[in-house]
Amino acid sequence: MVPDRAVMASERDVALDIRIQGVSKSFGSVAALAGVSLTIRPGEFVAIIGPSGCGKTTLLKIVAGLVAPDAGTVAIGGTRVTGPGPDLAVVFQDFALMPWATVLRNVAFGLELRGVGRRQREEVARRIIARVGLAGFEHHYPHQLSGGMQQRVGVARALAVNPKVLLMDEPFASVDEQTRRLLQDDLLDLWAEERKTIVLVTHSMDEAVYLSDRVVVLSPRPARVVGEIQVDLPRPRSSKTTRTSAAFAGLVEDLWGMLKEMQ
């Protein structure tokens, strides 16, 4: 059964930490990760950035339990990750929606896999769909939606299972810049309300600084953590006040300097 709303709210308050210790991974003769260690605090919003192909997505998949490391460990909330778990959800770049299913079915799918009854899972799905601004589109199919709307469905599907940790792999890379900024602001609003632990993989320096509490920089493959930037910009953030500030520009420039040194 789905917990009542009071229980769900209580569970949301318990964010989980992520501890990555000495994680290495190779695919054949290609080394993707080499001894990556990183701790993410409960409720922290962390962006991971680095050169293209450096292993950012591989690291995220290992944290999600979708790929096993060759060496090292990942623990979420003190529990070692050995496979996908109920406290975690992933939002992918390519939406990964079921094309034959409606918005309602797509969003409710995770709850269906967990054995939640139809009436209960659809009630939860409708509430989350409304939260991401898609009320009225419950019975539309993915091909009837814009790219931005499809990505909202992907986010809603992740939120429907009430994860304590949300992993996002270039979630806004496939949409236009205007839609991307709108989705970024929506994500900030959701994080402010839920305070889930979020790990975001991105190629965008602007996005990394705008959204996160901390930006972690990876080296070229095989990836290692080579630095980080603490983002001390005040919250709540907005394009009008945050992106136009000298502090924001300075942090983006600092990040660019770190990445440029690796070219």
pLDDT tens sequence across 128-160:
999 888 999 999 999 999 988 998 999 999 999
Q: How many helices (H) and strands (E) does the chain have?
A: 8, 10
Cα-based distances in Å from 39 to 33, 36, 236: 16, 10, 24
Kindly state the average pLDDT of the residues 236-249. 95
Total domains present in the chain: 2
Domain co-membership, 259 together with 175: yes
Question: Is the residue at 158 inside a domain?
Answer: yes
Average pLDDT over residues 14-20: 90
Round to whole Å and give the CA distance between 252 and 57: 22
22 and 146 part of one domain: no
Q: How many CA atoms lie within 13 A of 6 on its CB side?
A: 0
Question: What pLDDT shows up at residue 138?
Answer: 97
Q: How many degrees, rounded to 5, is the angle at CA 214 between CA 253 and CA 211?
A: 80
Residues 185 and 257 in one domain: yes
Last residue of a domain, one of 122, 146, 162: 162
Residues 158 and 176 grouped into a single domain: no
pLDDT tens string 155-203: 999 999 999 999 999 988 888 888 889 889 989 998 998 899 999 999 9
7 domain-assigned: no
Q: Which residue segment(s) compose the domain that 143 sits in?
A: 88-162
Reduced 3-state DSSP string for 77-133: CCEECCCCCCCEEEECCCCCCCCCCCHHHHHHHHHHHCCCCHHHHHHHHHHHHHHCC
Kindly report the three-state secondary structure assignment for every residue of 139-166: CCCHHHCCHHHHHHHHHHHHHHCCCCEE
- What radius of gyration, in Å, describes the C-alpha atoms of the chain? 18
pTM, whole model, 2 decimals? 0.89
Confidence of residue 14 (pLDDT cuts 50, 70, 90): low
Q: Are residues 80 and 176 in the same domain?
A: yes
Residue 251 scores a pLDDT above 70: yes
Is the pLDDT at 8 greater than 80, yes or no? no
Residue 3 lies in a domain: no
Please determine, for residue 7, whether its predicted confidence score (pLDDT) is greater than 90. no
Tell me whether residue 9 is in a domain. Answer: no
Could you tell me if 196 and 251 lie in one domain? yes
